[in-house]
Chains A and B, each alone.
Chain A
Amino acid sequence: MSHYYFLPHQRIDDMLNQLQGDGYKCVAPRHHESEINYDTITKSADLPWGFHDEQAPGHYKVNKSDHKHAFGFVLPTTSVKPMLFKAKENIWKVARNDEGKLAFEPIVEFEKIAVFGVRPCDLRGIEIQDRVFMENSYNDVRYVKRRENQFLIAMNCTKSHSNCFCVALGDAPQADKGFDLAMTEIEGDGFVVEIGSDKGRALLDALDLEAASGGQAQKALAKIAYAVDGQKKTLPPIKEVETKLMANLEHPQWDDVASRCLSCGSCTQVCPTCFCHTERDEPNVLGTETHHTREWDSCFSIDHSYTHGDTYREDPKYRYRQWLTHKFSTWRDQFRTKGCVGCGRCVTWCPVKIDVVDEINAICK
């Protein structure tokens, strides 16, 4: 970390105005009824001031306090994934032209989005999906356009929820790369800011911020250290997990977890790194044109493994095993990274409280 600046809470609006002036739509976590999730914001008052979240296996609750923090909660319900890799979208359409020939038209929709308050785990989720959609032999034009038009303001964690386990994976709740700006909130005060790119520097220059004091920078680091201490989950070293999972494909734990698993796929749908999708056509009634859609699929879907007339993962234990071994082992062979960022969403949003860390430990012990 080189140099720290300081953005007082009172100047959030200046920053948002600057971004909006540069043509960005600003998106940040917002509080709605029973959740904190990403949505469009236009002003500082739209942020979830004083709200914090309570997360446990199969449990999520938002509470309000008198604390003067905008980012006092730990993690929004969804990651940044739906902004880049959409749950469902049209990717091309085809219609017969006047000469009776099929005319194909690609559909590439994107907008300039500045995301304010991306947690370090979600930042790593973007980095992993970049490998899938941009740095792979296959390039997704929509994803690339959206990434090029994205401004990322990371928000280091000042506390962890009970499902967080980035530390157990060897990471930290602190943004290390892949951001334009990274901030740490000092309660009742403002943000200690770090620059991560030229775009980020230009924004800070425009805001003409003061340097952070040594005390402020120390406070920020202490806050992050507190978030590290808040994580209680442990895993064997990741290399060991990667080897042991594949060496235990017939472990009785797979049957045990399958008896509890609803196979609803919620874990894969909330995961910042899961990228499986399916494509289908939506023709008009007259049958003269069709929209070709792409939407999220899941390895928990029973038809996901339907190939050449057969379903080879009919048994739920094979679906769960596929998910866990891909995420925590074969992902490395495929993309040269880990497949998990330790955000804990799969644990929070599992209706039957299956905890991926417990399952891994049971198999790898």
Chain B
Amino acid sequence: MSAHDKLLGLSARPKVAVHKFSSCDGCQLAFINDAVSLLELSTLVDVVHFAEAGPLDEFAEVDLAIIEGSVNTHHDIHRLEMVREKAKYLVCVGACAITGGIQALRNYTDDKGLLEWQHGIYPQDTDVIIKEDLSTAKPISAYVPVDFEIPGCPITSTQILHAVRSILFGVEPEKNVDSVCTSCKHAGITCVTVARGEPCLGPVTANGCEALCPALGRGCYGCYGASKYANMGAMTDKLKEMGLSEIQIKHKFQYINSQDAGYKGE
């Protein structure tokens, strides 16, 4: 079924579920933060499951499932498959759901290295990572088909509300394909690379954050993943010219969206 047919097949008063997998809840908060808009939205849809906000009915049949977080456990896979089966249209929000997020850095390490990380992050012994469980953090799309993705770390209220509004109109939401440089120039933000010598991933990173970091004089961290066209060779050469070592450049790209195909130059 095409995306268009799927969207036309949604109920007149759609049922919506918001699910959390491995994540910080920041994207769900982006949805909740604009309380007035959420109240308005509740006059148009039935939110049947949204643990962060209250309603609980995890495996209800829904028109629209919104998913935050990455898949880290066997239990996650089982739950995700159930969610997909019950949803007509599935939207992923944020870096974790789309690329695996910052926790996907574990995909680069072995058991010994992972244990070192764990001790570095948690002060006491913890069973947060069970040895027999999955050894990777992966995006939702690695396990089930995804209908639409909204990038960000976290996403913004504007992004999610705009997307839900488009879905209610029966059209696929618009994708942000340009680089962060577009937002900087539109907002009159002076380029931090050119004027301050700040290494910035803006030229190869998808727009959508309204250039939050450059507006504060800092280089882009790449929260939204690679832009649709990203000249990684030219970006890497630029970072080298600015004095960054190969390992520093690697760390820049292997950060919030380490599994992003664009950042890997794939």
Q: Which residues of A contact B (CB under 8 A)?
A: 33-35, 37, 58-61, 77-78, 82, 87-88, 259-266, 269-270, 280, 282-287, 295-296, 298, 301-303, 316, 348-349, 351-352
Contact = CB atoms under 8 A, between A and B. Distances in A.
Contacts of A35: 190, 195
Interface in B177-203: 177-179, 181-182, 185-188, 190-191, 193-196, 200, 202-203
Choose among A34, A285, A296 the residue with the greatest number of B CB atoms under 10 Å from its CB: A285
B12 to A, nearest CB: 13
Contacts of A264: 179, 181-182, 202-203
Contacts of B174: 280
A301 B177 contact: yes
B185 A262 contact: no
Interface string B31-44: 00000010011011
A39 to B, nearest CB: 10
Given A285-B40, A351-B203, A351-B238, A37 B190 contact: yes
Contact of A88 (B186, B204, B233): B186
B187 to A, nearest CB: 7
B185 A285 contact: no
B182 A298 contact: yes
B186 A61 contact: no
A295 B169 CA distance: 23
A298 B182 CA distance: 9
Nearest to A306: B177
B250 interface: no
Nearest to B36: A285
A269 B194 contact: no
Contact of B188 (A78, A260, A285): A78
Contacts of B203: 262, 264, 266, 351
B161 interface: yes
B178 A301 contact: yes
A59 B241 CA distance: 13
Interface in B197-233: 200, 202-204, 217, 228-229, 231, 233
B234 A262 contact: yes
Contacts of A284: 40, 165
A287 B168 contact: yes
Contact of A287 (B165, B195, B229, B231): B165
23 contacts: A37-B190, A59-B194, A78-B188, A87-B187, A88-B186, A265-B179, A265-B182, A266-B181, A266-B185, A266-B203, A269-B181, A269-B185, A270-B185, A285-B165, A286-B44, A298-B178, A301-B178, A302-B228, A303-B177, A349-B194, A351-B191, A351-B203, A352-B237
B235 interface: yes
A52 to B, nearest CB: 14
Which range contains the number of B residues in contact with the other chain?
Answer: 35 or more
Given A287-B168, A302-B177, A351-B194, A269 B44 contact: no
Contacts of A77: 190, 195
Contact of B169 (A259, A260, A269, A287): A287
A183 to B, nearest CB: 25
B162 interface: yes
Given A263-B229, A285-B40, A352 B195 contact: no
A295 B185 CA distance: 11
Nearest to A301: B178
B101 to A, nearest CB: 25
A238 to B, nearest CB: 27
A261 B231 CA distance: 7
A285 B162 CA distance: 8
B185 A263 contact: no
A284 B217 CA distance: 32
Nearest to B207: A301
Contact of A262 (B161, B188, B231): B231
Contacts of B168: 287
A33 B168 CA distance: 45
B173 to A, nearest CB: 11
Contacts of A295: 186
A204 B198 CA distance: 45
A296 B161 CA distance: 23
A349 B202 CA distance: 13
Given A264-B203, A303-B177, 17 more contacts: A34-B190, A35-B190, A58-B194, A77-B195, A87-B186, A262-B181, A262-B231, A263-B229, A265-B178, A266-B185, A287-B165, A287-B169, A301-B182, A302-B177, A303-B228, A316-B231, A352-B234
Contacts of A58: 193-194
Contacts of B229: 263, 302, 316
A298 B207 CA distance: 14
A280 B161 CA distance: 16
A263 B194 contact: no
B175 to A, nearest CB: 8
A262 B204 contact: yes
